[in-house]
Each structure stands twice: as C-alpha cells, then as structure tokens.
Structure 1
C-alpha cells in the first residue's frame, strides 16, 4: 500500500511533468496554438480587448479560491475561540453563545482546526511556490514578447532558471491564474482525510477549475497552454506534501467510506484533533 500510494501520488504527476516537458517545452506546440489565436492584422489577441470577457474570466473568477481561502482563515481563527471560552469555567458566557447560536459554529471550528489550518497553509505555500518559480525563471508572457508585438524576447523557463536569485522581471511561468483554481485541490485532501466518497468529485472540480482559469488566459495571449499544465503539477505536489505533513500517509491512503460509515469516521477524527 505504501509504495502504491507514493507511486500514484508522486509518480503520476512527475510522469505528467516529463510528458509536458517533452510535448511542449521541447516542441513549438505552444507557439503554434497561440498563433491560431493571434490576429496578425491588428497584431493582437482579440479576446484580450473584450472587457466583459476579462471581467468574467480574470476578475470575477478569483472569487471561488479567494472566498475559500478567506473562509479557511476565518475558521482557523475561530477554532481558537471556543477553548478560550471554556464553558465549564465561564458558564454564563457559554450559555450566552449557545442561546445566540454562536456556540455550534465555534465548536465546529475548534473540532476542524487542523483542516482549516491545512487549507490556509496549503494555499499560502502553493501561492509562494508559484511566485518563486515565476521570479526565478523570468519568462515573459506571449503578448509581451516580440512574437506577438511585444518588446521582450521569448525564452524557455528551463534555460533561464536561477535557483538562488531572481532571473529577471518576467512573471509568466507557471500560470498564476490557473494555479488559483488548482489550489482548490487542497479540499480534496481534506475530503480524503475523512474518506468522503465524493472526494474524487472534489478533485475533478479543482482540476476543471484550474484548466478553465488557465485556458482563458491562453485565449487572451497572457499564457501558453503548457503554463497551465505546469501550474497543475506544481500545485498538486505542494498540496500533497503539505497534506502529508498535516495528516500523514496512513490517513490519506485509506479507502473512501460508505455514507453510514462516514459519520463514525468523522467523529473519530474530531477526537484526535
């Protein structure tokens, strides 16, 4: 089981990374695809000039991961409140919170403190890793390069990578907008902790969201398609390592539960928090 867990969760994404590298970074597929979206007459990507498309796919789309991160942060903060209330020592305050329906919220937050903290940390680490790679590869977006009317040279991320210092001002690899959608994969690991039978649906939702986010930016000329795929690999590995630190392999590799089994498993997990 142990070897299978690592083979699937590390081996598959690393194999995907190799495939992406060979299929995209070692070929001109990215440029060929972007050429189809570029209007040589106006020297622009038409969808980049549609205000509603920009608002819908770039501005409003951020609501889902942003609200998720904010909810997790609020939950993490509230998780420390109920133990401080300590109804046994402060029965008056505890009773007041019970009467105003606040106590159940605080109790829930306290019971799921580890999950809220995990989501906060996973989101932060994913964002940090994406920004680190952006700064240390200095890849300019297609629309900024001379290939599509810009002023900067087109470079490959691996030829410009610097580990210990920033490589330049470019900030296009991997896809930042796509990574915002992919960070929702953190919720998959929470679902796996509780062996929720719909955990695969959560993972599928996060993958689809990330690909949608990334593809819309490709259509506008602000990313190559491979940038989206690389963002998915980076975010998955970051979330996985964070989940292993918070929950451990044994918890994450357990098979999903049937509906009647899940209630008991959740109660047991809350006891060990």
Structure 2
C-alpha cells in the first residue's frame, strides 16, 4: 500500500473508532434508553417492593468496597500525574554545570533517573492532569445543567421527586435544579483512565488497546455497582463513558496533534527498516 494511501487509511480508522464510535453509541443510548423504559425495567430487578429499598444500598461493606475504596485507582492516578508534573520541573534546574553538588547528590540517592523520566514526559503528565480535570468539569457541568435525580430520590422508588430525562431539564447557561445524577459521576472516575490510552497511542505502544479495554471495563464496573444500589440508571454509565471519551480525545488532539495519534500501534514483531524510519520520524516531531 502506498505511503499516502496508508496514511489516509490510518486517519480514517482513527477517527472512525475514536470519534465515530462514541457518537454512534450516543445515538443508540439515546434511542434505546432515554426514549424507552429500559432503564426503569433494569433497575426494577434490584428493587425490593416490600421494603421499598435497594437491598445493596443498605450494605455498608458493598458501599465501602465499590464506592469508597474503588476511588483509589483514578484518584491515585491523578495524584501521581500531578506529583510527576511538579517533579518534572526539578531536573531542568540542574541542567549543564549548575549545582554540581546537588546533581551528584541526586545521582547518589538514585532520584536522578526519576527526575529525568518526569522531565522527559512532562507533556504526558500535564496531559493526564488536564484531561482528568476537563473530564471532571464536563461531568459536573452536565450534572448541574440537567438536574436529573437519582432513582432512589424519585417517586418510582419511594422517593419524592418525579423522574425526568436529562433533555427535559437541560439548561445551557444556568443551573437547571438540585438534581446531580446524570451522567454517572462514579462511572466517570473509572472512564477517566482513558487518558492513559491516548498517551499509549502517542507512543504507539502495542498494549494500548488493553489500556483502552481496561479503562472501559473499570468505568462500566464502577457505574454498574451504583445501578445495583439505586443511585444511577444504567444509561447514566454509558453517557459518562461517552462524555469522558470525547473529552479525552479532544484534549489529546490539542496536546499531541492528529499526526501522532493516528499512527498505528506497534506490532509484536521487531519493526523492519521502513517501520524503523517511520518511528524515528514520529519521535522527532
């Protein structure tokens, strides 16, 4: 395949999967969930009409494991990225012949390799921090501007508020109300790990798809556990994933540019001469 044709193929493939697929899923979720009663039918499976509760919502152990402890993964990822970003500013201070004693001390206590690593990946660390922040901001914006109440808060499940879909309350420029349930916040915490997938794409890491699938699975598990407790509908999880995916994509395009992200991931075999040349060209951009 000619180089130009191959480039166009990878470009179409990248946007097909990373932009087209989330938009297609958005349309399907809207038609299958928001326009039907599937959400309620699914949540009914976990609601006890006798006690008028979601039994798993009464389990402190389930709450601790699936809601509180589970936050460790995205929280620590964001914190480590922020710490790494701050550390990335340290090594350039020792560039050249400045502070030779300090530089020697860092080498002696074996902190120099870590500082060099963070300095080399400063853009990636900044991307992860910004992507996490923008994803969180997008989710909070949608929560406050749609004012959707959680199932346990609605009359459908012994609550006091009438159930409404997100598009019935949507306000672009002002807070729509007190509801804060759409999209799924806990699910979005797992989905924000998608930022790591785009870092892996930048370096054409052959396990980037594993990072993608793992991030999607984590967000899906996070969201589903809240559905079982009556604090979200299933569609809230899907919407959280779609919003986070698109936010991470746009942020990655801003940070890395289209050319780096559209490159195919590395094969498991050693690259040939043509592949090696291509890798060198990408690394030099």
Judge same fold: TM > 0.5, yes or no: yes
For residues 49 and 104 of structure 2, the distance between their equivalents in structure 1, rounded to whole angstroms, comes to: 70
Corresponding residue number in structure 1 for 2:123 = 114
Choose from 173, 196, 202 the match for 1:193.
Answer: 202
1:81 aligns with 2:93: no
| Pair 192,85 (structure 1): closer, same or farther in 2 beyond 3 Å | same
> Bigger shift: 107-116 or 255-264?
255-264
TM-score normalised according to structure 1 size: 0.95
For residues 135 and 101 of structure 1, the distance between their equivalents in structure 2, rounded to whole angstroms, comes to: 47
Q: Which runs of 4+ in 1 moved over 2 A?
A: 1-8, 258-272
Corresponding residue number in structure 2 for 1:242 = 251
1:223 aligns with 2:232: yes
For residues 103 and 265 of structure 1, the distance between their equivalents in structure 2, rounded to whole angstroms, comes to: 31
| Pair 91,239 (structure 1): closer, same or farther in 2 beyond 3 Å | same
Structure 1 residue 48: deviation in Å? Answer: 0.2
Corresponding residue number in structure 2 for 1:49 = 58
Corresponding residue number in structure 1 for 2:174 = 165
Choose from 216, 219, 239 the match for 1:210.
Answer: 219
- Unpaired stretches in structure 2, ≥5 consecutive residues: 1-7
Contact 1:78 1:110 in 2 (8 A): yes
Structure 1 residue 224: deviation in Å? Answer: 0.2
Structure 1 residue 271: deviation in Å? Answer: 6.6
Query: SS of the counterpart of 1:165?
Result: coil
Deviations 1:99-132 (A, max 9, x none): 1101111000000000000000000000000000
For residues 278 and 154 of structure 2, the distance between their equivalents in structure 1, rounded to whole angstroms, comes to: 53
For residues 96 and 113 of structure 2, the distance between their equivalents in structure 1, rounded to whole angstroms, comes to: 13
Deviations 1:120-178 (A, max 9, x none): 00000000000000000000000011110111111110010000000000000000000
TM-score normalised according to structure 2 size: 0.91
1:101 aligns with 2:110: yes
1:156 aligns with 2:165: yes
Structure 1 residue 85: deviation in Å? Answer: 2.4
- Unpaired stretches in structure 1, ≥5 consecutive residues: none
Q: Superposition RMSD on alpha carbons, in Å?
A: 1.9
Contact 1:17 1:230 in 2 (8 A): yes
Structure 1 residue 3: deviation in Å? Answer: 3.7
